[in-house]
Amino acid sequence: MTELMPLKYENEILKLLDQRLLPTEEVYLTTRTIEDCFHSIVDMVVRGAPLIGFTGIWGMALFVKHNPKATFEQFARAAEYLKSARPTAVNLAFEIDRCVEMARLETHLNAVYPKLVAHANFEMNNLYEKNLKMAKFAESELQRIYGDRPLNVMTICNTGVLACGVLGTALGVIINLHNQKKLKKVYASETRPYLQGSRLTSFELLKANIDHQIVVEGAASYLMKNKLVDAIFAGADRIVENGDTANKIGTSSLSIIAKHYGVPFYIVAPTSSFDLNLKTGEQIEIELRDPNEILKYKEHHIAHPEAKALNPSFDVTDHNCITGIICENGIIDPMIPGSVREILEKK
Ligand code: MRU
């Protein structure tokens, strides 16, 4: 099977693999403007915290390309517009704010275009190294707990190439374990309502030839009670100062069940997913999405046409349910006060 490439910039056009159609169709959507980028993020053509961050950089580059005479103020306003596409993943704001800082240094805005292009390419390649470091930290941690025994692991949502552009965070850990022959099996939570687990993670696992089964969210307790899972790895959209972590809806309940059954539960995320401006998870804005994502599958009603639904896209996992937060600088024990800030300040 061919390698997945969720985003490519060719001839000054951003091509985005339309993740809404996966795994049945692999179609690239042509994205020419900042508005196209905005809608691609809102409509989940691209998704996953790091990938929407990279799309944010490309969006700002496209803005400059089409508005070479724009003022810095217009650039800054465009940045605020693009940042508003999705509120929970801090990576989008983090990457766009860096673009604004870069533009601030230029006398003429159009000089920042080649720099943004180079920056986007650099950051995506650089994430591969970071993901690999996280995967190695996780491997050592599991070795410490379980020795050499091949492990059964569980994950939620999609945190692989389709979410990062390269290897992946939690899925990067899993792929590395497989490459090291330390993986037995993966349970991929289907991740209602958008089905990132059954549509995207399973697709990536199939491409990597990794033995796995899709499970419904409600199977978590069954799996852990029956000792079918040795460890759980999840990604993050925003990790705040005390270690509370926003990630795909259902992550928090998974962590609570894991704590109940004594299964190690890890968050895996690059430092661009941390937000030290917020002290606790209560301050994180949770994106509420269209109820139709729950009520319908594509155009087919699942529930009665008059039924209503509430669709929070993320939840906050309490730091005391997290065994460790793995980033490129090391593993954080979120129960130790100050440990998040300490590891982020480590060079
Ligand atoms: O709504 P999505 O698909 O963008 O949500 C993605 C997640 O929740 C991921 O776990 C998170 O962004 C980390 S991706 C490395």
Q: Please calculate the CA angle 159-163-168 and round it to the nearest 5 degrees.
A: 50
What is the pLDDT at residue 298? 84
Q: What is the pLDDT of residues 46-57, one digit of tens each?
A: 999 999 999 999
Kindly state whether residues 195 and 224 are assigned to the same domain. yes
Mean pLDDT of 137-162: 97
Specify the ligand 1 atom closest to the Cα of 157.
10
Report the amino acid identity of residue 284.
I
Kindly state whether residues 83 and 152 are assigned to the same domain. no
Structural domain contains residue 51: yes
Give CA–CA dist 259/302, Å, rounded: 33
Mean pLDDT of 114-134: 96
Q: What is the CATH number of the domain that holds 72?
A: 1.20.120.420
Kindly state whether residues 68 and 151 are assigned to the same domain. no
Q: What is the pLDDT of residues 152-196, one digit of tens each?
A: 999 999 999 999 999 999 999 999 999 999 999 999 999 999 999
Kindly state whether residues 12 and 105 are assigned to the same domain. yes
- Mean pLDDT computed over every residue of the chain: 96
The residues annotated with a catalytic role in the active site are 237
Domain boundary among 72, 98, 124: 124
Give 47 Cα–ligand 1 centroid separation in angstroms: 6
Kindly state whether residues 275 and 229 are assigned to the same domain. yes
Mean pLDDT of 75-87: 98
What is the pLDDT at residue 37? 98
Kindly state whether residues 113 and 142 are assigned to the same domain. no
Report DSSP state, residue 182: -
Range of 233's domain? Answer: 133-344
Q: What is the CATH number of the domain that holds 180?
A: 3.40.50.10470
Q: What is the pLDDT of residues 23-63, one digit of tens each?
A: 999 999 999 999 999 999 999 999 999 999 999 999 999 99
Kindly state whether residues 296 and 217 are assigned to the same domain. yes
Kindly state whether residues 228 and 292 are assigned to the same domain. yes
Structural domain contains residue 2: no
Domain boundary among 124, 145, 174: 124
Mean pLDDT of 265-275: 97
Domain boundary among 124, 150, 165: 124
Kindly state whether residues 193 and 106 are assigned to the same domain. no
Report the amino acid identity of residue 2.
T
Give CA–CA dist 182/139, Å, rounded: 9
| H-only helix segments in 43-167 | 49-66, 72-83, 90-104, 112-146, 161-164
Give CA–CA dist 56/70, Å, rounded: 18
pLDDT at 265 over 90: yes
pTM above 0.75, yes or no: yes
HEC sequence for 187-209: EEECCCCCCHHHHHHHHHHHHCC
Q: What is the pLDDT of residues 223-253, one digit of tens each?
A: 999 999 999 999 999 999 999 999 999 999 9
Q: Could you tell me which residues are beta bridge partners of residue 296?
A: 301
The pLDDT > 90 percentage for the chain reads 96
Structural domain contains residue 117: yes
Structural domain contains residue 1: no
* Closest C-alpha residue for ligand 1 atom 6: 48
Structural domain contains residue 258: yes
Q: For the chain, what is the domain count?
A: 2
CB 51 within 8 A of CB 165: yes
pLDDT at 347 over 90: no
Give 336 Cα–ligand 1 centroid separation in angstroms: 26
pLDDT at 329 over 90: yes
Kindly state whether residues 251 and 321 are assigned to the same domain. yes
Structural domain contains residue 202: yes
The answer to whether the CB of 47 is under 6 A from ligand 1 is: yes
**How far are the Cα atoms of 35, 135, 255 from residue 38, in angstroms, in the given order?**
5, 31, 32
pLDDT tier, 1 (very low <50, low <70, confident <90, very high otherwise): low
Sign of CA dihedral 52, 56, 61, 62: positive
Joined together, the tokens standing for residue 110 give 């159009």
Kindly state whether residues 117 and 172 are assigned to the same domain. no
Give CA–CA dist 209/203, Å, rounded: 10
Give 264 Cα–ligand 1 centroid separation in angstroms: 20
Joined together, the tokens standing for residue 328 give 């490129």
Structural domain contains residue 228: yes
Kindly state whether residues 69 and 142 are assigned to the same domain. no
Give CA–CA dist 86/47, Å, rounded: 10
Q: What is the pLDDT of residues 282-317, one digit of tens each?
A: 999 999 999 999 999 888 999 999 999 999 999 999
Tokens 């517009």 belong to residue: 81
CB atoms within 10 A of CB 292: 15
CB atoms within 10 A of CB 56: 31
Give CA–CA dist 119/95, Å, rounded: 10
**How far are the Cα atoms of 94, 96, 230 from residue 183, in angstroms, in the given order?**
34, 37, 10
Give CA–CA dist 235/162, Å, rounded: 13
What is the pLDDT at residue 135? 98
Structural domain contains residue 35: yes
SS3 content of the chain, % helix, strand, coil (to 5): 45, 20, 35
The answer to whether the CB of 169 is under 6 A from ligand 1 is: yes
